[in-house]
Amino acid sequence: MKKLMILAFCLLGVLSARGQEQKEYPKPKGMQPRHTEFWLPQPPVITPGSFVATVDMPVSGKVKKGQPATAPATVGASDIYVTAPSDAIVLFDGSGLEEWVGPKGAAPGWQVADGVLTIVPGTGEIGTKRVFHDFQLHIEWSEPVDIQGESQERGNSGIFLQGRYEIQVLDNYHNETYASGGAGSIYKQHAPLVNAMRAPGQWNVYDIIYEAPTFKKDGTFRTYPHVTVLHNGVVVQNHTEILGTTEYVGFPHQRAHGDGPIILQDHGNPVRFRNIWIREL
Ligand code: MG
């Protein structure tokens, strides 16, 4: 009997929440995008590490013990990347977009050529067919060398975790924008700790560790989602609390949801991606 009553209460809670979702409530008036754009403090600009090739130590030879045979050579950052570990789900390895869909389930409109995925502006976002809970995501992205626009209009894209929480992708190299909208930000919530951008044409790397939220009966967070982001090997978000959806206009919303896809944003700029893989945690 007691169990039945608890079940009935739970059911009532769900039904009343659904009723609220369907009902039209007044929306806040007069909210402009600029009301949630904070420019100060700007994240400090740093230079991320480079890819360095070294040679094996000779067993015996002409070099001094403990010294490399030659000085480490810096190699082109565009030429080297680490492939997916054996337990990862490969989302894009350069060969095709079997793991992805476009808007409304259509085939993705983005271009795949030479092992690289490029946004075709105007074709809409693409998202994974699979949905995820907690995960580690690796994704590499490169900004157009043909520099156009400034602030948010330069090389903008984004990575939406569980389809709703955006980690910003932006050409933030010698291009200031509001701090909470920079590369590595949780869009309009948390600025990155530093700006670790590589120049346009080079490859940036994000390693994103995400912990999904849990919900109360009313759909708000019981435990908030958290995210750690490394940008080119540098921590830019350190187990940061995500406050809700990453809105362009207005404040974050909290709504109950299940597992969700990784969505890549089409913001009208031909940003390139490669080597995308994910490990479920
Ligand atoms: Mg964006």
Task: Pick the closest to residue 236 from 142, 143, 147, 169 (CA basis).
Answer: 169
Q: What is the mean pLDDT of the chain?
A: 88
Ligand 1 centre from 103 Cα, in Å? 17
Ligand 1 centroid distance, CA of 25 (Å):
28
| Contact call for residues 17 and 219 (beta carbons, < 8 A) | yes
Structure confidence at residue 53 (pLDDT) = 66
Residue 27: the pLDDT is: 76
Question: pLDDT tens, 34-82?
Answer: 999 999 999 999 999 877 766 554 444 454 555 544 555 555 555 678 8
How many Å apart are CA 260 and CA 89, to the nearest integer? 15
pLDDT tens sequence across 247-265: 999 999 999 999 999 999 9
Q: 60: CA distance to ligand 1 center in Å?
A: 54
What residues contact residue 244 under an 8 Å CB cut-off, 6+ apart? Answer: 221, 251, 252, 253, 254
Domain 87-280 has CATH 2.60.120.560: yes
Q: Where are the domains of the chain?
A: 45-83, 87-280
**pLDDT, tens digit (0-9, with 9 covering 90-100), for 85-124:** 999 999 999 999 999 999 999 999 999 999 999 999 999 9
Q: Where are the alpha helices (DSSP H) in 31-82?
A: none
**pTM for this model (two decimals):** 0.84
What does each C-alpha distance from 165 to 22, 115, 235, 241 come to in angstroms? 23, 27, 18, 11
Q: Is the pLDDT of residue 30 over 90?
A: no
Show the DSSP H helices in the chain as ranges.
2-22
Ligand 1 centroid distance, CA of 160 (Å): 9
